[in-house]
Structure 1
Amino acid sequence: MPKSLLRSLALIAAGAAIPTVLLPVATNAVAADSGTTGSADTYRQLDQFMNVFQKVRADYVDKVDDKALIKGAINGMLESLDPHSSYLDARDFQQMKLTTEGNYGGLGLTVQMDDGAVKVVTPTEDTPAYRAGIKAGDYITRINGKLLYGGTLDDAVTDMRGAPGTKITLTIVRPGREKPFDVTLTRENIVLKPVKWEVRNGVGIININSFSKATGADTRAAIAAIQKQTGGRVAGYVIDLRSNPGGLLDQAIEVSDAFLDHGEIVSQRGRAKDDIERYYARPGDDTKGAPLIVLVDAGSASAAEIVAGALQDDRRAIVMGERSFGKGSVQTLLPLTDDTALRLTTARYYTPSGRSVQEGGIQPDIRVPQLSDPDYKDRPRFREDDLRRHLINEAKVDDSVIEADPKPDPRFAASADQLKKQGITDYQLDYAIKTLTRIAGTPPAPATRTAAR
């Protein structure tokens, strides 16, 4: 299998599927398994499939389209595997290209089909969905009054996208609320900015929203800009990976490498015992060893978990927040024709210590609740292990008791209203900044702030 890294995928648009980390392969990269594919039983099963196909064409009550039948059969086969393997027809391929270009008319939502319903994985920051208050775990049941249940994710994607400036009304079902409610949004030209930075009280904050083709370079540029802004006197850095659905593997490696000067970053392992590839940091830490805190939450997935896991295992950063999403699989894009492809799960990835984050995610070193969110306690978390047919991790640790612990932690007793009166709108970020100022031995400064985006 070729090992060069694909530079074109970040499925984080309105209606895109859970993001993936992809590698390119040739069209003949999947070899037949001689133990099953060539057997007489397999050919009998294929004959059975053709018999069903012919009978549906001939006898179904309405005339059917051959392409639709074949696509349905392919999708059914892939859906029996795991939630991240899928077939991309011409329309899906075009949707993917629009998303990877990071410039399209839409809402800025990452969603996933969940038992026939469209479920929000995360809203992308600075998009109509984010500003409207749509949250991870919400269900979108109607678009402009049209019921979505039982439809396809592709149809929902198409309906949510549209010309910038046009309005759309989503009907939202939010666990914890008695009734559905409508949200009317105006579509915008979504231009994804993978990295933003600012300085607060001498702490550099690097907010990484996605892992597209420029994320690594933009992260290094943000570090340089923060050092220039502070005259080289940086108390530390907060790497904010919250609600980051992932993206390109090579960019996760490059971002990790910006904060490391040695050691393994990630490994990926396929079906065969010897199918292992490891990626290592190059000498040179752009931050010159400054203290680091990584913020994660239930929306931090895939490439974001690679970065958090690498910095945690190499003891380079303190990880704060909530347990991450738990997507530890690698998808390979297998071209079929000029405008169709197969996205197939071909490997799992592992952190430097050999941990698989599949299902279990990255556990924070310090669990910090988002107290500034009034819905925090009542809103359920949506993660990989909530998806049907997700890959099983036998080493997963069940922390449901910890997450549901009703006993209040005295450190985190403030209410959202109390924090609002103190001017704190993001408790997790505020806690991280204050922790870094204590580590650096500098008192918290007044509410001074400089930023560049």
Structure 2
Amino acid sequence: MKFRLYKAARRGFSIAIAVCVFLSIAGFSNTLQANDTTYKSLKLFTDVLEELEKNYVDDVDTDKLIHNAIKGMVGNLDPHSSFMPPQAFDELRDDTKGEFSGIGIVITMKDSILTVVSPIEGTPAYDAGIQTGDIIIRIDDKSTRDMALWEAVNLMRGPKDKTVLITVIRENEPEPIEFSLKRDMIPMESVRSGMLKPGYGYLRITNFRMSTLDDIKTHLEKLESQNNGLKGLIMDLRDNPGGLLDQAVKISDLFLAKGDIVSIKGRREENTQVFKAYPSDEDRKYPVVVLINGGSASASEIVAGALQDQSRALILGTTSFGKGSVQTVHPLKEKFGIKYTIARYYTPNGRSIQAKGIEPDIEVEYEILTKKEKKMSVFDRMIKEKDLKNSLKPEMTKQPEKIKKQTRKHQRLLDTDQLQNDAQVKRALDILISYGVFSKLNGS
């Protein structure tokens, strides 16, 4: 009798905890007026929990059942909302600060399938050839079916130099592709730059971290101090998965003097806000071309959308990822956490980024240009002035002494020669140079 009373009391206590957890997580306790439907659903939940505790073939872990229920509840809202145990909550903070060992990819859940948003430049995944849109079906010997996002992240991170096997399926590839990747420290450096031609700078932003704004200012000052200032800038946001909202806003503000940058609109008033640009002492009136592709997401799309709508930059490349929602992270008791969507992003002209992305002004597919052998035409074989007998020779002018170039490059420096063979970069550079030529013709 005492045993049955103890069991009944324990079940009642577990059910009470379950109800309290659900009320706390869903926000019913203070902000939502519960109705009959809500109470009926909660009663159904507690009935199921009690039934399983009493009659399931094996003893059940009540806490695990409740956690799984919360995980399903939050995870079914959208791909970017999740319930996180303590380990996952701690690792979330590594994404914007600190250093960690992994393979270097940003992933999301797309239609409940683990999908690559983009590889991070200079990491094992990037170097091995993992691509945006790859679907990860296995991590080592574990299937990713029904795997939570944080679980996948946890499996791919680990000790430096240890190998992890990633199996992906890729569009237009008949068989799965396996990648054996040796984990490495993921570089926190998010900005690099170089001069493609005198006066024409290149700025590569790989993600938006806590130090990105300061890094960009440093790189811009260096570029702007060369060759009597910049005539044009290429800002490369390709395969940039995003990051911190405040960094995207402040970086956009570097190139804007007024107007809206981005607005976020949520169901609650406190989750609705408009971020504006303000005048600056820096005079950055040079033309800008922004490069985007399918791996450009979130904060990248905010910058591209703001500069496009404000007619401050020309956008070139392919349509971006389309991640236009805002998440907040809320700590819970016992070091658990919850990440959930509170609003959507809108560009200055009111365009929603969500599931649409930023469409480029000029669409150019990625391609590595190769030098083609020039075939001599009939016209090339025609006699020229220099072929005529006793023709005047060209006047010889003294050539300036060539400065020997240092060929050794630092590992993290840009290879500007290689960028010249990038079709999107080359097109952007041609546009900037043409703009300068036409500006002179128009006398501006």
TM-score, structure 2 length as denominator?
Answer: 0.77
1:298 and 2:290 are equivalent in the alignment: no
* Among candidates 143, 152, 159, match of residue 155 of structure 2: 159
* Among candidates 204, 208, 214, match of residue 205 of structure 2: 208
Counterpart for residue 283 of structure 1: 279
Q: CA deviation at 1:255?
A: 0.4
1:182 and 1:51, CA in 2 relative to 1: closer, same or farther beyond 3 A?
Answer: same
* Among candidates 117, 120, 127, match of residue 123 of structure 2: 127
What is the alpha-carbon distance in structure 1 between the residues aligned to residue 109 and residue 346 of structure 2?
Answer: 26
Per-residue displacement from partner, 1:235-272 (whole Å, max 9, x unpaired)?
21111111111111110111001111111111111215
Deviates more, 1:312-321 or 1:431-440: 431-440
1:252 and 2:248 are equivalent in the alignment: yes
1:220 and 2:179 are equivalent in the alignment: no
Contact 2:84–2:150 (8 Å) recurs in 1: no
What is the alpha-carbon distance in structure 2 between the residues aligned to residue 217 and residue 35 of structure 1?
Answer: 39
Counterpart for residue 17 of structure 1: none
1:60 and 2:56 are equivalent in the alignment: yes
What is the alpha-carbon distance in structure 1 between the residues aligned to residue 216 and residue 281 of structure 2?
Answer: 12
User: After superposition, where does 1:406-425 map in structure 2 within 5 Å?
Assistant: 425=421
* Among candidates 175, 179, 186, match of residue 179 of structure 1: 175
Counterpart for residue 414 of structure 2: none
* Among candidates 133, 157, 165, match of residue 137 of structure 1: 133
1:237 and 2:233 are equivalent in the alignment: yes
Instruction: Give the residue type in structure 1 aligned to 2:58.
Output: D
Contact 2:164–2:183 (8 Å) recurs in 1: yes
Counterpart for residue 372 of structure 1: 368
What is the alpha-carbon distance in structure 1 between the residues aligned to residue 293 and residue 249 of structure 2?
Answer: 20
Per-residue displacement from partner, 1:119-151 (whole Å, max 9, x unpaired)?
211100000000001111112222334433343
1:132 and 1:48, CA in 2 relative to 1: closer, same or farther beyond 3 A?
Answer: same
Contact 1:145–1:171 (8 Å) recurs in 2: no
1:74 and 1:150, CA in 2 relative to 1: closer, same or farther beyond 3 A?
Answer: closer
What is the alpha-carbon distance in structure 2 between the residues aligned to residue 204 and residue 424 of structure 1?
Answer: 12
1:114 and 1:61, CA in 2 relative to 1: closer, same or farther beyond 3 A?
Answer: farther
What is the alpha-carbon distance in structure 2 between the residues aligned to residue 311 and residue 247 of structure 1?
Answer: 18
Unmatched segments (≥5 aa) in structure 2: 1-23, 371-417, 439-444
Deviates more, 1:56-65 or 1:197-206: 56-65
Q: Structure 1 vs Structure 2: percent identity of aligned residues? A: 39
* Among candidates 350, 355, 366, match of residue 354 of structure 1: 350
Per-residue displacement from partner, 1:156-188 (whole Å, max 9, x unpaired)?
222211111112222232221122232222110
What is the alpha-carbon distance in structure 2 between the residues aligned to residue 239 and residue 424 of structure 1?
Answer: 15
What is the alpha-carbon distance in structure 2 between the residues aligned to residue 247 and residue 423 of structure 1?
Answer: 25
* Among candidates 419, 424, 427, match of residue 423 of structure 2: 427
1:325 and 2:287 are equivalent in the alignment: no
What is the alpha-carbon distance in structure 2 between the residues aligned to residue 121 and residue 272 of structure 1?
Answer: 29
Instruction: Give the residue type in structure 2 aligned to 1:126.
Output: G
What is the alpha-carbon distance in structure 2 between the residues aligned to residue 83 and residue 164 of structure 1?
Answer: 29
What is the alpha-carbon distance in structure 1 between the residues aligned to residue 84 and residue 224 of structure 2?
Answer: 44
Unmatched segments (≥5 aa) in structure 1: 1-27, 375-421, 443-453
Contact 1:102–1:190 (8 Å) recurs in 2: no
What is the alpha-carbon distance in structure 2 between the residues aligned to residue 144 and residue 30 of structure 1?
Answer: 35
Per-residue displacement from partner, 1:17-49 (whole Å, max 9, x unpaired)?
xxxxxxxxxxx9986499964223311211111
1:93 and 2:89 are equivalent in the alignment: yes
What is the alpha-carbon distance in structure 2 between the residues aligned to residue 213 and residue 169 of structure 1?
Answer: 31
- Indicate the structure with greater helix content: 2
Per-residue displacement from partner, 1:200-225 (whole Å, max 9, x unpaired)?
11311111111111111111111101
Contact 1:223–1:287 (8 Å) recurs in 2: no
Counterpart for residue 410 of structure 1: none
Contact 2:419–2:425 (8 Å) recurs in 1: no
1:357 and 1:294, CA in 2 relative to 1: closer, same or farther beyond 3 A?
Answer: same
Contact 2:79–2:112 (8 Å) recurs in 1: no
1:287 and 1:209, CA in 2 relative to 1: closer, same or farther beyond 3 A?
Answer: farther
What is the alpha-carbon distance in structure 1 between the residues aligned to residue 171 and residue 307 of structure 2?
Answer: 34
What is the alpha-carbon distance in structure 1 between the residues aligned to residue 168 and residue 316 of structure 2?
Answer: 30
Instruction: Give the residue type in structure 2 aligned to 1:319.
Output: I
Instruction: Give the number of aligned pairs.
Output: 369
Q: Secondary structure at the match of 1:217?
A: helix
What is the alpha-carbon distance in structure 2 between the residues aligned to residue 289 and residue 338 of structure 1?
Answer: 52
Higher relative contact order (CA closer than 8 Å, sequence separation 6+) = 1
Per-residue displacement from partner, 1:316-357 (whole Å, max 9, x unpaired)?
000111111111111122222262222121111211111111
Contact 1:36–1:42 (8 Å) recurs in 2: no
Contact 2:272–2:343 (8 Å) recurs in 1: no
Contact 1:122–1:299 (8 Å) recurs in 2: yes
What is the alpha-carbon distance in structure 2 between the residues aligned to residue 294 and residue 316 of structure 1?
Answer: 10
TM-score, structure 1 length as denominator?
Answer: 0.75
Question: CA-atom RMSD, angstroms?
Answer: 2.7
* Among candidates 338, 345, 350, match of residue 341 of structure 2: 345
